[in-house]
Amino acid sequence: MSATVPGYSPSFKKPAETLRLRRKRPRNAADPAAEAAVFPAGLAELGPRRAALAAGLCLRPFPAAGSRSGGVAAASLRRNPFARLDNSPRPAVGPEPVTDPAWPPATFLQDTGEPFLDFHQENNVTWKQEFSETTVKQLSVSFTWADHLKAQEEAQGFVQHCRATEVHLPENIQDPRLSTELRCAFQQSLIYWLHPFLPWLQLFPRIGADRKIAGKMSPWSNDEGLQQILMSEWSISFTSLYNLLKTKLCPYFYVCTYQFTVLFRAAGLGGNDIVTAVLSPTTRGLREAMKNEGIEFSLPLIKQNGQRKQKVSETSVHVAESECKTEPEEEQLISDEDEEESFSWLEEMGVQDKIKKPDISLKLRKEKNEVQVDHRPESIVLVKGINTFTLLNFLINCKSLVATSGPQAGLPPTLLSPIAFRGATMQMLKARTVNVKTPVYTGYKDQFSLEITGPIMPHSLHSLTMLLKSAQKGSFSAGLYTHEPTSIFNTCTQMEKISNKAILEKELTNCGLHLKTLSQLTQLPILGKSSLRFMEMDNYACNWKS
């Protein structure tokens, strides 16, 4: 984007007609004889101001518009519309480009649905001015190769995606615009699968989407029969996706409801050796309902009671550390243990069965702790193994999964997957290239951008990075705008590395992902509760910020 400069229009190219500017001479101009007396011979012919400059005399500025002399306005009150923004000459390009040192390589894992992704390059990112000389960074490559794909290239990209064709591009593509292989692979990386598909509604994201959906046509909101049909078809698609995941033909998929999001991952992804599902954010009511259905789960970001007791006991040994480690929850646990010990004398007397222990305060404290994490990232729930199948049945039969009022009333959750499944619709991420000239201190610079919008899943991000590494000669940067409720999915839920990682990767070779992308997603997440915000590749080395 170009900087906002008063009086400057990026679309201004040529004036409608030629403008002639005349300087209005003041009425009280000096007498010619007096001018000849002040300036030497030959200088008076140049005019009073030019002659004064040639003679080395100091000049006063032109009088203001409101002055007695009636002169023109000061130069600071007006500007030439055709002049450069900084009134400086256009810089000369240096004979030799300057190459910055390479960034150290870094791995990244993005388990979030990305609504916006912006890749960009600049042809002269760094200007170094010394006296009148300028040095310019190496010229970059525009993203115009991603524009206007031919019909044959689009069709080939669809076929490559459906057949899970693994494309290997050279490290450096000389002319990306002429590379049919690159353009087909770009089309292939933009495909995702969605259910349900309603062209007039934006079905991702679903959390906080009431304002975008409000006012749109929803004939099912007051028709129970139509709602049952939609939910029946949704249940079939959901079951189809889970079966693909269980047989390792699908790496992962998302279930996006209006209140929370569920990420199902196949065995081997995210450092887990079995099928897992993570839900976020959750509430105490949802967790109680899952317990009643017999679903075993854990809260990986909330320490268990056993770990808390162990930590409390360690504080008695490390007195110095206890001041900084003791938390309100631990103090409450100590008080709970003291209350339990106060009834130990009943056991010694043998009357503990006859006297009922009052547990109202303990129950209230427990409920308070559980409610405090509701709707927060710390409320993430982890489900493993066979319990994921129980979770599947629970979600299909859960009445609170679908909103009963509001713009999303009766609308089934959104299913997002990198591969095809029953009832799914093939969709495309939207890509747009932008080339603009932005002003800098010493002139202008060309900025090339590639904007991609939609539910950008982890595999798409990695595939696009590999493509751009070849197309942009190993140098580009990207800004990522994450759907915040899904950032918590980057949390590591497995503390130990799996021993059979190579075997699991081999079993997932038919899941439809590039082998390099698959290897990346099987690693332990390292982003914690955050997500990628900025990524830069320079000289084929990647650096990122969260």
The per-residue DSSP string of 26-62 comes to PTTPPPHHHHHHHSPTTTGGG-HHHHHHHHT---PPP
* Residues 6 or more apart whose Cβ sits within 8 Å of residue 509: 515, 518
Distance CA 43, CA 52 (A): 8
Distance CA 422, CA 234 (A): 10
Please give the C-alpha separations between residue 17 and each of 14, 20, 79, in angstroms, as whole numbers: 8, 10, 18
Distance CA 161, CA 189 (A): 8
Distance in Å from the first CA to the final CA of the chain: 23
On the CB side of 487, CA atoms within 13 Å amount to 17
Residues (pLDDT < 50) of the chain are: 1-3, 29-30, 34-44, 58-59, 61-76, 86-115, 124-139, 304-335
Distance CA 506, CA 472 (A): 31
Distance CA 115, CA 151 (A): 27
- Condensed to tens digits (0 to 9), the pLDDT of residues 408-436 reads 999 999 999 999 999 999 999 999 998 88
Residue 461: which of 517, 416, 529 has the closest Cα? Answer: 517
Distance CA 113, CA 254 (A): 9
Provide the pLDDT for residue 523: 87
- Condensed to tens digits (0 to 9), the pLDDT of residues 57-94 reads 544 544 444 444 444 444 445 556 555 554 444 444 43
Distance CA 462, CA 453 (A): 15
- Condensed to tens digits (0 to 9), the pLDDT of residues 115-145 reads 467 777 765 333 233 222 322 233 478 899 9
Q: Which tokens sit at 521? A: 């997603």
What is the value of pTM for the model shown?
0.68
Where do the H-state alpha helices sit in 252-300?
A: 284-292
Q: Are 213 and 201 in contact (CB under 8 A)?
A: yes
Q: Are 192 and 513 in contact (CB under 8 A)?
A: no
What size, in residues, is the chain? 546
Q: Are 522 and 89 in contact (CB under 8 A)?
A: no
**DSSP letters of 101-162?**
PPPPP------S-EEEEEEEEETT--EEEETTEEEEBPP---SGGGSS--HHHHHHHHHHHH
* Residues 6 or more apart whose Cβ sits within 8 Å of residue 102: 538, 539, 540, 541
